[in-house]
Amino acid sequence: MYVIKKDLCVSCGLCADECPTGAISPIGPYKIDREKCSDCGQCADCCPVEAIVEEKINENRA
């Protein structure tokens, strides 16, 4: 799952434009809709400030 680091995001909108599933709202503050996200990584690839990172989910947590 990808997440947007709000402290790094410059609100350029590239991620919302590039997202093939429309999982990122084009109106700030930007956030990724987990229901729509396909984990393709296009948002992270296009982010000029590397504010979008993949967050590993620990399935072993109780």
39-60, pLDDT tens digit by residue? 999 999 999 999 999 998 766 6
Q: Write down the domain spans for the chain.
A: 1-62
What average pLDDT does this structure show over 23-44?
Answer: 93
Q: Which residue has the tokens 């109780």?
A: 62
Do 5 and 53 form a contact (C-beta atoms < 8 A)? yes
Considering the domain 1-62, what is its CATH architecture? 2-Layer Sandwich (3.30)
What single string gives the DSSP state of each residue in 38-57? ----HHHHH-TT--EEE---
In the three-class reduction of DSSP (H, G, I as helix; E, B as strand; rest coil), residue 44 is classed as helix
Average pLDDT value for the chain: 91
Distance separating alpha carbons of residues 37 and 3, to the nearest angstrom:
10
User: What pLDDT score does 28 carry?
Assistant: 75
